[in-house]
Amino acid sequence: MKEYDFSTDIPTLGEAKILSPLKTNLNAGEPEKRFVSDDQKVVVDVQLDHLQHKEKMIGFDPAGPREMIYFDPSKLKCAIVTCGGLCPGLNDIIRSIVLELHHIYRVQTVYGIKYGLQGFIPEYGHEVIDLDTESVSGIQNKGGSMLGSSRGTQDVGMIIDCLERLNIGILFMVGGDGTLMASKRIAEEIDRRELKISVIAIPKTIDNDIYLVSRSFGFDTAVDVATLAIRGAHNEAVAYPNGIALIKLMGRHSGFLAATAALAQQDANFVIIPEVDFYLYGKTGFLQALENRIQRRKHAVIIVAEGAGQNLFDEQDTKYDPSGNIVLKDIGLFLKDKISQWFKAKDIPISLKYIDPSYMIRSLPANSNDSVFCGFLGREAVHAGMAGKTKLLISTWNNQYVHVPMDASAGKRKNLDPHGRLWQSVLEATGQDSYIND
């Protein structure tokens, strides 16, 4: 049986002693709400060969409303902040949280923190805005985030000072792996100060690479748009003799978007992802394989994830962004140049088109599936916070919404398994080989 190196226990601010409004505010004839108990669990591993080890199984706490809550809604103040890169669905998350707090729990004060973690720091001078049902009306139809965002770390002590000044009881943080690390540090400092502030994170990444998160919002929308880009790239490639279309998609460390989009629109002949190193030259290198494809079929479509091929660059020239992430070398433009040089040296004329839809994807509104998903995530985040739970992120696991401890997820990454079914399906769909250095 697989052993896990994390605990699934969720911290709480104290005993929940207040009867939930979901139980007390029922209208005549309205069916009673179904509450979730902490005694229920969603097992982490459900493989059949592990059933003999039931006594060793671990599980996540299911998300959902609790019958008893910790915070008094009439006195509670909440805050929402969005951090990091833009992603389809951010406005849907904000709207879902606000509507659940106002309509279901009757919480009257919800603040929006502008421009990410900068909004907590006085020197930036960013305003704090009041969020209510009117201010979030229709925002799900717009891309980006109505609260704005920013990158980079900020002083945790000053962030918590701001939370205290605003008398915040629940802080909802929406962001990627950097935000999860910040959320963890904020929650730890809150513990150190012995404050009663709940920190609930909603994981955001188009790359779908957050550990212990089966699916992240925005990914479905990104696949939709990437599919359109692949379709257009294929049309460009076949329209010209020796046409080559090169598409760069998001995926700093994980190739989920590139792989999934390739399967959704099976026009790609080569898919290059960060989890699988490849090499350019030699009889078994990528460029020779591309030449063989052009000689045989007269066109080719290439998908490359933005973090792929970093093994081809000089590691000594490493730079970092304001959030502490390594600034990746641009594999898209690098490949474009290498392909052009290769065919020019062979005196083979080509028509090469380079397509990068990344920023268009990031700033679009969520599609229908993502919008529904964001609604669930926002509501489950509110239920968790109202129950006094803290230092957790909302996730889906085995088709259930669950609470994942920040300690178990923050600082770790989910990668595509090169031996798993997803990547093997890509190899079958494209017919590509391994491009090794001979």
Say how far apart CA 253 and CA 305 lie, in whole Å. 9
Say how far apart CA 125 and CA 420 lie, in whole Å. 49
Say how far apart CA 209 and CA 193 lie, in whole Å. 32
Check the CA dihedral 103-110-180-392 and report its sign: negative
Please say whether the beta carbons of 83 and 182 come within 8 A: yes
Q: How many CB atoms lie within 10 A of CB 419?
A: 6
8 alpha-carbon distance from chain centroid = 21
**Neighbouring-strand partners of residue 80:** 112, 172
Please say whether the beta carbons of 80 and 382 come within 8 A: no
CA nearest neighbour of 260 among 334, 268, 44: 268
How many CA within 13 A on the CB side of residue 311? 15
For residue 57 the two structure tokens come to 């199984």
Say how far apart CA 268 and CA 245 lie, in whole Å. 9
DSSP symbol at 313: S
207 belongs to the catalytic site: yes
Q: Strands, DSSP E only, in 183-284? A: 198-203, 243-249, 270-272
Say how far apart CA 349 and CA 336 lie, in whole Å. 14
Please say whether the beta carbons of 158 and 189 come within 8 A: no
Say how far apart CA 282 and CA 276 lie, in whole Å. 18
DSSP secondary structure string for all residues of 46-72: --GGGGGGGGG--EEEEPS--SEESS-
Please say whether the beta carbons of 89 and 146 come within 8 A: no
**Neighbouring-strand partners of residue 68:** 19
Which amino acid appears at position 92 of this protein?
D
Please say whether the beta carbons of 420 and 414 come within 8 A: no
Number of H helices, E strands in the chain: 12, 15
Residues catalogued as catalytic = 207
